[in-house]
Amino acid sequence: MNKRIQKSFALLKQQHRMGFMPFLVAGDPDLKTSLKIAKVVARHADFLEIGFPFSDPIADGPVIQAANQRALQVGINPDKVFSFIGKLTNFTAVPITILIYSNLVLRYGINKFYDKAKKAGVSGILLPDVPVEEIRPFYEKAKRYGLDQILLVASTTTDVRLRKILQYASGYVYAVSVLGVTGPRKTLSPTALQLVKKIKLYTNLPVVAGFGISTRQQANLLRRQGASGYIIGSALIDFINKHRTKPKFCDRLTGYLQSLKI
Partner 1 sequence: MPEILMSALEELERSYKKFQNDNNAQAELAKLLQSYVGRSTPLYFADRLTKRIGGARIYLKREDLTHTGAHKINNALGQGLLAKYMGKTRIIAETGAGQHGVAAATVSALLGLDCTVYMGIVDMKRQKPNVSRMRLLGAEVKPVEVGSQTLKDAINEALRDWIAHPYDSYYLLGSVLGPHPYPTMVRNFQRIIGKETKQQIKDLVGRLPDYLVACVGGGSNAIGLFYDFLREKNVKMIGVEAGGNGIRSGCHAARFAGGRLGILHGTKSMVLQDKYGQIQSTHSISAGLDYPSVGPEHSNLFEKGRVYYSYVTDKQALEAFRLLAKTEGIISALESAHAVSYAIKLARTLSKKKIIVINLSGRGDKDMPIVAKELNL
**What residues line the site for partner 1 (CB under 8 A)?**
54-56, 58-59, 61-62, 65, 69, 72, 77-78, 102-108, 128-129, 131-133, 151-158, 161, 165, 176, 179-181
Cβ of residue 108: shortest distance to partner 1, in angstroms? Answer: 7
Which sign, positive or negative, has the C-alpha torsion 29, 100, 162, 147? negative
- Pick the closer one to partner 1 by CB: 1 or 181: 181
Q: What is the 3-state secondary structure (H, E, C) of the chain?
A: CCHHHHHHHHHHHHCCCCEEEEEEECCCCCHHHHHHHHHHHHHCCCCEEEECCCCCCCCCCHHHHHHHHHHHHCCCCHHHHHHHHHHHHHHCCCCEEEECCHHHHHHHCHHHHHHHHHHHCCCEEECCCCCHHHCHHHHHHHHHCCCEEEEEECCCCCHHHHHHHHHHCCCCEEEECCCCCCCCCCCCCHHHHHHHHHHHHHCCCCEEEECCCCCHHHHHHHHHCCCCEEEECHHHHHHHHHHCCCCCHHHHHHHHHHHHCC
CB of 158 to partner 1, least distance (A): 5
Q: Which of 28, 46, 60, 238 is catalytic?
A: 60
Least distance from C-beta 105 to partner 1, angstroms? 8
Q: Is 133 a catalytic residue?
A: no
User: Shortest distance, CB of residue 196 to partner 1, whole angstroms?
Assistant: 15
Which of 69, 83 has the CB closer to partner 1? 69
> 28, 46, 49, 238: which is the annotated catalytic residue?
49
Q: Could you confirm whether 46 is annotated as catalytic?
A: no
We find the least distance from the C-beta atom of residue 24 to partner 1, in angstroms, to be: 19
Whole-angstrom distance, CA of residue 103 vs CA of residue 50: 17
Of the pair 7, 112, the CB lying nearest partner 1 is at: 112
Nearer to partner 1, 1 or 179 (CB): 179
Catalytic residues: 49, 60
